[in-house]
Amino acid sequence: MDLNRKGYLNKKISMAVKMVVLTICLVIYMFPFVMVIINSFKTKRDIIKEPLSIIGSKGASLENYIEAFAKMKFPRVFLNSLCITGFSVLFIVITSAMCAYLFVRLNYKINKVIFTLMIASMVIPFQVIMIPLVLIYGGQLHILNHRLTLILMHVGFSTAMSVFMYHGFIKSSIPLSLEEAARLDGCTRHQTFFRIVFPLLKPTTATLVILYAMGIWNDFLLPSLVLTKKEVYTLPIATQMFYGTYSSDLGLIMASLIMVILPIIVLYLFLQKYIIAGVVAGAVKS
């Protein structure tokens, strides 16, 4: 009985220590984000003078948000980011799911070769090809400063990983008997995919949607290379205007950062329950 009580106490102590350590890690991790939110309601003077204070000397104010909203031309750049992110994620999901389904169900040698090449392309860093990419698309084809160009680039860079995840999920979790039953009922291959297979890919699809929506929405490097006209700026590029050569308006920067990340946080909260299930399910087999 004493041994059981001692073991129970040790387990409780161990659990308490783990909770304390995790709480400390959470506080350390969240501290910068909380400071950004707090300082976004302060003036530039208060941010520099008292960055750790909860409220500035002039109190909390929405002036930074109002000014940042106007200077960024927020509605226009928001629609640009929404258009680019939405269509990019849509094309990534549809084309990758169809491609992975084709690789799994049609056992052709050419499919295996193409799939291997796609997986191998994942190890190539973007920085290696960004200069040739800009030179070709800008210097020779003259198709930079177009939202469609950026959308197609995002689709091209993201398809390999998406196909890999869909491939593993279809191979391990979608029984062939379901498709055979659908064909016996008169479904064509396209109807079988869109009515039977694709709805079953919901966990992986939700995972890819949140991962690529976050990545494309917050991407700065590729849009800064492709989009140089203010009319087609995305939110991360528009935020750059608050950074000066010798000084920066910290209040406007922090307010604009909050406005940029808020939509993607809402999307994450909406889809978070699918993320772990989708990652695990899509990586079981390849």
- Give the per-residue pLDDT at 285: 45
pTM exceeds 0.85 = no
Alpha helices in 137-226 (DSSP H): 147-173, 176-184, 189-192, 198-200, 202-217, 221-226
Place of tokens 């297979």: 197
Q: Which residues contact 16 (CB under 8 A, 6 or more apart)?
A: none
- Give the per-residue pLDDT at 279: 57
Distance between CA atoms of residues 157 and 117, nearest Å: 13
Residues of the chain with pLDDT under 70: 1-4, 6-7, 139, 244-247, 274-286
The CATH number of the structural domain formed by 70-282 is 1.10.3720.10
> Are the CB atoms for 129 and 63 separated by under 8 Å?
no
* DSSP-derived secondary structure for 7-25: HHHHHHHHHHHHHHHHHHH
Distance between CA atoms of residues 38 and 56, nearest Å: 9
Torsion angle defined by CA atoms of residues 237, 240, 241 and 245, in that order, rounded to the nearest 10 degrees: -140
Q: What single DSSP character describes residue 230?
A: G
* Domain layout of the chain by residue ranges: 2-39, 70-282
- Give the per-residue pLDDT at 3: 59
Distance between CA atoms of residues 94 and 120, nearest Å: 21
Distance between CA atoms of residues 103 and 125, nearest Å: 25
Task: Pick the closest to residue 93 from 187, 182, 165 (CA basis).
Answer: 165
Q: Is the dihedral of CA 19, 25, 27, 29 positive or negative?
A: negative
